[in-house]
Structure 1
């Protein structure tokens, strides 16, 4: 095979994969087509792989092509998803608060290359391609700015709230979460009394003595296991890398582009405003407004607005764990809470975060992570909840990590959703009857196998389903959302709020693909 110019698109002779980079194509051929069946003349058979594709795979490939998305996302070489009935066990144990997720059975190479530069895990393919489409929604499609409606930032204290919607929370919950005998019988409110319905905690878990609650909490992982060197299924495709390319290290150290503009302030004076290309502040109030406008949302709870969305830069790869740490730090900075003295100025770069994690290991915080990873400084190895927790604990920032696993009694995503609902809808919100509540709580670091995100809210819909509302560092908010967030306004209407919210919702269908989850909460 001769070398082609780098800018030329090179197609794989055995499947539909292609790349502009010769090394990437060569690596793909070695990994997936090392021993192809010969054709009639002794050469490879390009149609062999396509002939072996299932109807579902062919349909997915066609859908990707019609949507104008990279065909390589629909590769049929990816291993089959783990069976939903399998009860996987965690190999990185919960030791000293340290947790991690198990590897899926099968291949050591469960990733494919996307045109955006990211190597995507096979379980993330559908969501990944969908999110690329969401990134391009413009402000002209669904938004209609208005003057008569303004969303107040709701605190669980005494700030102004959205219009009251009494008893709006439905008790029509999924069968798997029902516990009718444990719910207190409710009386209808009088004409002069406004009363909210059961809390999320009561609906999901029942009373403290209920079997459902005991079953849910028994699914919290507390296994102990031996420390071992992790492989590609846990650390990603660069698990054995000693050092990332110099161009990538330089890009990460420099960070995203900074733009400085002059704007008129409320008092008419010129204000110097600094914007960072991969950071979006003020996004929580915009999402909360969309939840309020969505007629299919029964109730919603959000974290503090003092958190910024931070996304990856183009071609940087899989640094989602670091980007989520940056989002947690952005809350610590902007809310000026415990530990903010460690993070003055701009957010720490990814190499700086690697240094902080290595220092935490030196101090003995989740120190087995160094043995499991072989060290992370200047590498592209994936990190997870244990590394984020170690960094925070080493800086004396109180936090708590918990793992949730699937058992015979309950699915892992159900117990995780219970914990998130209980976190947002606690004693501080028990008397709040508004449809949407923005609290002063920190966001949550959220991990499942192969990816992590930051949870900024939770919604219950009229059909009784539950959505997490997340900041996914793999994607930029759409131009529509960025425009609203940067304008720092909630005075808008949208005829299709669900269209703008889609990229930030992770529902039960998405979560049901995974067996174990981890949450890291600031205290």
Structure 2
């Protein structure tokens, strides 16, 4: 795959420069065209290299809003709409030592949404775009069945009281790990963590306790594989910096308060509060779910702004901070008002390095202030520790005995089902726990729950900062709906589920868990 890529010309979208090496082209663009953006009016000159059938397929995918790479999988360097290619050569350019990374494990492709996506994430990324467009009209939620919570109604934290208390079906046993047939017995059964971990002597439990990677704290300079497609960037484009400084659009609306007076309510375009209660209710309605646990309902979903790029690590930090803000736990005094911006978080991480917290990160990244370099678990951990917010970071690696995703899922199950809800027989349990910062190669998300399915599958429920919740979910969340009917809850939940099939593509995972306490 890497050899095939190096034999094809990659062309600068701004000038006539081209190269056989992606990293060389990237350095050229960042050095000479940092403040420029591709002109969408430029013709797609690579079209002359395509057959009529390929052209038709490419246009069909573009009209559907799907990446061009999916339309022409045998042409991995076909640019997205708006990029151009020219047939000039640059054979005198020195080849980068990292060119061998251009392949399945190091490739980043341009999606039609304007973002560069890792090859392993491309299928899921495209699926999520489709999920973003689900509306109430496309589902079976009758509008008359939606019950809106009044201002005098119960707080969202008490939403679990509205769940059914029927006894759920028994959960799978460890020796039935590959059994995917639904079971009909109805009993409380063992806890979720015992079911997934198995007996104390099982390989899963041993691996969950021992598969802690030593990669946190490496001292070598990281490259594109770890820091993303802009690993060598010295400064982000000025247009992007201005956009981040301005922040997402803020809308102020007037609503009638409990005392009959007008109350100003602030809505931020890329933030969706009250989404955890909606997702937990959908898990309750989904007949394929046997048992589910969710974090605190006070966590806010934060997604990227259009054309923002790969700032997922910062967005996940913001989601954890939203929990700290709204629960008023230790550390909340550091974050009054709105959530800190990405640029502010960069300053805070750099300051944490100055104070000696995970300071090796500066050597690994070359500094992150005003850049688009990816950050990960060590940077998030450094920020929280520098503010005296207790947290725990753990890595899980694939070994000969067990897959990394299995040990990671063990830890998540044990975190949510820690015994405090052992007497709770509800199908869905909403806890007061913080969400979890979740990292795998090339991307990070925020874990807000975990589901045990009738099929035996355990899947994470996540807030993915790359995507906005669907209009249907946003409408339910912003209306503070506490109960509603839904014939196909899985259609809503799919955008937030990450199952074993998805996780299997990755070998290593990292979790960061907050250990907050009330002030």
Return the TM-score normalized by structure 1.
Answer: 0.79
Give the conservation status (yes or no) of the 8 Å contact 2:10–2:21: no
Give per-residue Cα distances to partners, 1:130-163, cap 9 Å, x unaligned: 11111111122222245597998786x9962511
The question of 1:117 aligning with 2:114 is answered yes
- Give, in angstroms, the shift of residue 213 of structure 1: 1.4
Residues 105 and 379 (structure 1), Cα distance of their counterparts in 2 relative to 1, 3 Å cut:
closer
Residues 166 and 45 (structure 1), Cα distance of their counterparts in 2 relative to 1, 3 Å cut:
closer
Give the conservation status (yes or no) of the 8 Å contact 1:15–1:46: no
Give per-residue Cα distances to partners, 1:156-215, cap 9 Å, x unaligned: x9962511121424226685579xxxxxxxxx99xxxxx621111111123445454123
Residue number in structure 1 paired with 2:421: 429
Give the conservation status (yes or no) of the 8 Å contact 1:78–1:110: no
> Could you tell me how far apart the structure 2 residues matched to 1:317 and 1:148 are?
36
> Could you tell me how far apart the structure 1 residues matched to 2:343 and 2:297 are?
27
Residue number in structure 2 paired with 1:371: 363
The question of 1:399 aligning with 2:391 is answered yes
1:214 aligned to 206, 215, 224, which one? 206
1:493 aligned to 472, 480, 485, which one? 485
Residues 167 and 497 (structure 1), Cα distance of their counterparts in 2 relative to 1, 3 Å cut:
closer
Q: What does residue range 8-47 of structure 1 map to in structure 2 within 5 Å?
A: 22-23=13-14, 31=22
Residues 234 and 76 (structure 1), Cα distance of their counterparts in 2 relative to 1, 3 Å cut:
farther
Residue number in structure 2 paired with 1:137: 134
Give per-residue Cα distances to partners, 1:104-123, cap 9 Å, x unaligned: 96548511111222110000
Residue number in structure 2 paired with 1:168: 169
Residue number in structure 2 paired with 1:265: 257
Give per-residue Cα distances to partners, 1:346-384, cap 9 Å, x unaligned: 110111000000000001110100000000000010100
> Could you tell me how far apart the structure 2 residues matched to 1:126 and 1:485 are?
27
Is the partner of 2:276 in helix, strand or coil? Answer: helix
Residues 169 and 69 (structure 1), Cα distance of their counterparts in 2 relative to 1, 3 Å cut:
same
Is the partner of 1:160 in helix, strand or coil? Answer: helix
Residue number in structure 2 paired with 1:128: 125
Is the partner of 1:446 in helix, strand or coil? Answer: strand
Gaps of 5+ in 2: 1-6, 26-44, 78-98, 180-184
Give the conservation status (yes or no) of the 8 Å contact 1:169–1:197: yes
Residues 147 and 266 (structure 1), Cα distance of their counterparts in 2 relative to 1, 3 Å cut:
farther
> Could you tell me how far apart the structure 2 residues matched to 1:345 and 1:488 are?
22
Residues 318 and 370 (structure 1), Cα distance of their counterparts in 2 relative to 1, 3 Å cut:
same
Is the partner of 2:161 in helix, strand or coil? Answer: coil
Residue number in structure 1 paired with 2:83: none
- Give, in angstroms, the shift of residue 216 of structure 1: 3.1
Q: What does residue range 75-114 of structure 1 map to in structure 2 within 5 Å?
A: 75-76=73-74, 78=76, 107=103, 110-114=107-111
> Could you tell me how far apart the structure 2 residues matched to 1:429 and 1:27 are?
60
Give per-residue Cα distances to partners, 1:478-517, cap 9 Å, x unaligned: 1100000000112211111111111111111110100000
Residues 210 and 15 (structure 1), Cα distance of their counterparts in 2 relative to 1, 3 Å cut:
closer
2:348 aligned to 356, 371, 380, which one? 356
Residues 269 and 153 (structure 1), Cα distance of their counterparts in 2 relative to 1, 3 Å cut:
closer
Gaps of 5+ in 1: 1-13, 35-43, 52-56, 80-102, 179-187, 190-194
Give per-residue Cα distances to partners, 1:75-108, cap 9 Å, x unaligned: 54559xxxxxxxxxxxxxxxxxxxxxxx996548
Residue number in structure 2 paired with 1:281: 273
> Could you tell me how far apart the structure 2 residues matched to 1:469 and 1:397 are?
25
Residue number in structure 2 paired with 1:479: 471
> Could you tell me how far apart the structure 2 residues matched to 1:31 and 1:223 are?
27
- Give, in angstroms, the shift of residue 283 of structure 1: 0.2
- Give, in angstroms, the shift of residue 217 of structure 1: 2.1
- Give, in angstroms, the shift of residue 390 of structure 1: 0.3
The question of 1:322 aligning with 2:320 is answered no
The question of 1:455 aligning with 2:452 is answered no
Give the conservation status (yes or no) of the 8 Å contact 2:295–2:448: yes
Give the conservation status (yes or no) of the 8 Å contact 1:154–1:438: no
Return the TM-score normalized by structure 2.
Answer: 0.79
Give the conservation status (yes or no) of the 8 Å contact 1:385–1:519: yes
- Give, in angstroms, the shift of residue 268 of structure 1: 3.0
